[in-house]
Amino acid sequence: MKVMIVVTHLLGTGHLSRALTLGRAFVSAGHETFVVSGGMPAPQLDSTGMTVLGLPPLRSDGTDFTRLLTQSGELAKTDYLKARETALAEAIRSFAPDVLITELFPFGRRSLTAEFKAALEAAHSLPRRPIVLGSIRDILAPPSKPAKADRTAEIVELYYDGILVHSDQSVIPLDISWPVTEQLRQRLFYTGFVAPNAPVPHADLVGKDEILVSVGGGSVGQPIFHAAIEAARKMPSRRWRLLVGGQDSRTRIDQLKKLVGDAPVTLEPVRPDFRQMLPLAAASVSMCGYNTALDILQSGTPAVFIPFDDGKEVEQSLRGQSLSDQPAIEVLPSKELNGDALARAVSKVISSGPRPVPSQGFDGAARTVEIAVNLRGQA
């Protein structure tokens, strides 16, 4: 079976990371897998076994997802966006997938509606139409007005065979963040949570007993790094390791070095072996994105979450609330973030941990493959 996954990450790399986890599951099951990525390059992520096509890359202007920038930071103009649209549609016609999966759209990425609709039209015009599935995380950004939810429902009805909800309905139903009509409910397939296999502790014990601070691939987590450096000064017996991501990581590391002084802090770019370091760490400090939250639950590491809540973002705050009753987890709102508060929260979770690791519920990628295969077989 030929599978194509279309994803554009605009802030951080979480959407692409989840799409690649799905892709690896399809590859493991013997399916030819083609991922089209429209965000910034993220070579640290594992795309083993897949063909990956990079469209002319886009990123958001901070948290303004309606203002799209090129890799060089210029406003993306009409011809740039049209080149993406053309390349995406041509990739679909050339590859002719049996299954097409769009990540987040039509529940998000509305600023890219033109290219996603061109992709969907190309898919529907193929001699043998593929099964078309949407792929969404557990919690979405709620629609700001009913018309947006209505338009999403129209697109689903017109183009989609199903919507893959990467959650456990008994834990976090989609209704928490999105108005689910009866018509939409009939198209929902809950897969369970999508995560790689549980991390195996690093053989070289890298990160053992350290406090790992990670804020993804974007620059929005810089205040967390600043607070972490101050917190490290208040906990001199613990080494803090700050993992800085993004295209400008080296520049930001140089900026942060000026603040470190004699604090027990290691600064370095994001590492591909981060998940292997996590089970050995004394504690984790991070935002509360989907992939990060699952890493924490799978590792049992004590954790402090600082949910991303700039602008009108509520997704991570809702997820943090759902996890806040777990042992050895603290949620620190960004408005309360400073060195003192972070040091107190980290000390608290360390004294409360470690946390039992759930033995099931993280096989959403394998379940996604099963659902896609079954739907293709029924077509």
Pair (10, 158) in one structural domain:
yes
Domain that holds residue 143: 2-194+362-378
pLDDT of 224 > 80? The answer is: yes
CATH at 302:
3.40.50.2000
pLDDT tens column, 139-181: 998 998 999 999 999 999 999 999 999 999 988 899 999 999 9
Do 257 and 126 lie in one domain? The reply is: no
Q: Find the mean pLDDT for residues 275-289.
A: 94
Q: Span 177-192, mean pLDDT?
A: 96
**301 domain residue, yes or no:** yes
**What percentage of the chain has pLDDT greater than the value 70?**
99
Whole-angstrom Cα distance, residue 365 to residue 164? 10
Residue 206: inside a domain, yes or no? Answer: no
Residue 186 has pLDDT above 90, yes or no: yes
- Per-residue pLDDT reduced to its tens digit, 27-77: 999 999 999 999 999 988 899 999 999 999 999 988 788 899 999 999 999
Q: Is residue 178 part of a domain?
A: yes
Q: What is the mean pLDDT of residues 96-122?
A: 97
Would you say residue 217 has pLDDT above 70? no
Asked whether residue 324 falls in the same domain as residue 184, the answer is no
Model confidence at 107: pLDDT above 80 = yes
Question: For 229-270, how does the pLDDT look when each residue is reduced to its tens digit (9 = 90+)?
Answer: 999 999 999 999 999 987 788 888 999 999 999 999 999 998
286 and 366 assigned to the same domain = no
Strand 99-103 relative to strand 2-7, pairing: parallel
Q: How many domains does the chain have?
A: 2
d(CA 226, CA 337): 10
Runs of H (alpha helix) within 175-236: 182-185, 222-234
Q: What is the pTM of this model?
A: 0.83
Backbone angles phi, psi at 145, to 5 degrees: -150, 150
Do residue 190 and residue 269 come from a single domain?
A: no
Q: Is residue 200 a part of any domain in this protein?
A: no
